[in-house]
Amino acid sequence: MKSERTYYDKVHIWGRLWTVGALLVLLSVPSAICLHLNVWPQMHDVFAALKTVIPLYWGTAVIEVLTYTPMLGAGATYLSFVTGNIVNLKMPCSLNAMENAKVRANSEEGEVISTISIGVSAITTTVILAVGVLAFSPLLVKLTDPSSVFAPAFTYILPALFGALGAGYFRKHWKISIFPIVVGVIILLFVPTLASGTLIFATLIAAIGGALLMQKLKWI
């Protein structure tokens, strides 16, 4: 028990240090660009754009931190929020890895598997982006161009990804699955372009609330 706490404590210390480091690295990018090019943008222009961007993304950031942190585990959370693409890549990758390894989120085994999975995913993404940018960008432009024969594969990548990921869960827990999907569809009927982060928050509450209610009613 003592060793378990020590590991988690260490993860939080490492995570905080790396995240602060990442923040500095991130802020150094526009600073270095402006210093190198000897240009500084008009602050009122930047604020005008931020007035639109911040309410959109800072609110989502709060929801994402609250939603993903318990699911990903500590190490994977620190890593995911630095490496990005959480919803469309890191989260499903981690869920898939934990499902394959038959470990539960919030267990120490889940913490380890999730961290390895997200770390490997981040490195793989970095390699693919680097190779793609340096070597294959002309080919990829053709491959993903809207007129390309392969374009629909990338347009519908999210239904493909989450359908494949969800199938096993839906089969095993079909009673729990129906309610949050219905709730999600109903919300989209009223707000069809609702941001994924906000929609997830709603379906997550529906899924957990619905499951606990069904258990109380002895339906599951």
Q: Which of residues 4-23 bind other proteins (CB under 8 A)?
A: 7-8, 10-12, 14-16, 18-23
> Which listed residue (1, 2, 71, 219) binds other proteins by CB under 8 A?
71
Shortest Cβ 20–other proteins spacing (Å): 6
Q: Of the candidates 109, 42, 40, which has an alpha carbon nearest to the alpha carbon of residue 73?
A: 109
Q: How far apart are CA 136 and CA 129, in angstroms?
A: 10
Closest CA to 69 of 9, 12, 2: 12
* Residue 31 burial by Cβ neighbours in a 10 Å radius (0-12, 13-18, 19+): exposed
219 binds other proteins (CB under 8 A): no
Residues touching other proteins: how many (CB under 8 A)?
155
**Using the rule CB under 8 A, which residue among 1, 2, 42, 218 binds other proteins?**
42
- Interaction residues for other proteins, span 166-205 (CB under 8 A): 166-173, 176-177, 180-181, 183-185, 187-189, 192-193, 196, 199-200, 202-205
Tell me: does residue 213 bind other proteins (CB under 8 A): no
Distance, CA of 203 to CA of 196 (rounded, Å) = 10
